[in-house]
Amino acid sequence: MAWDISRPVPWQRLMREWVIYAAIMGVVFLVIFNDGNTIGALAGVLVSGPLYLGFGWFLAKFGYQRKPLKELRTPQAAGSASHVDADELDNAPTARRSVAPTSRTAGGGNRPPSKKKQRR
């Protein structure tokens, strides 16, 4: 897609995702960097906020928009095997038959005998 300055940017979603990320990474860094370098690690997490928002803004102007988890879960629930109709079973493609073995696939039973290893 081409750049379009009029495309909306989902600021609320971007902020929510980054806040969740920052909270999780803040706790992880507090646990891992408990030797006195926690300020640098937390500063890095805070610097990632404007970078994430800027990158999200850039992608949104090109038309990129991820599906929310709610939409991702819906097709899986609709396509479950418990809701298969009899008509769908009749229209289902048959199992693919395997190709007959040939001398090139060595499945025809005419393999050359293996040579015995000679000891020296």
Per residue in 65-90, pLDDT tens? 877 777 878 765 555 555 555 555 55
Work out the percent of the chain whose per-residue pLDDT is above 90: 25
Token digits for 119?
């000891």
Residue 108 DSSP SS3? coil
Query: What is the residue type of 37?
Result: N
Give the CA distances from residue 47 to residues 20, 32, 44, 52, 95, in Å, rounded to whole numbers and listed in that order. 15, 19, 5, 9, 54
Token digits for 21?
């990320």
pTM exceeding 0.75: no
Q: Does the structure show a pLDDT above 60 at 49?
A: yes
Selection from 73, 26, 17 nearest residue 45 by Cα: 26
Whole-number pLDDT of residue 71: 80
For the chain, state the CA radius of gyration.
Answer: 29
Domains of the chain, by residue range, sit at: 11-64
| Residue 29: count of CB within 10 angstroms of its CB | 17
Half-sphere exposure of 105 (CA within 13 A, CB side): 7
Q: pLDDT grade, residue 93 (50/70/90)?
A: low
- The answer to whether the beta carbons of residues 21 and 47 sit under 8 Å apart is no
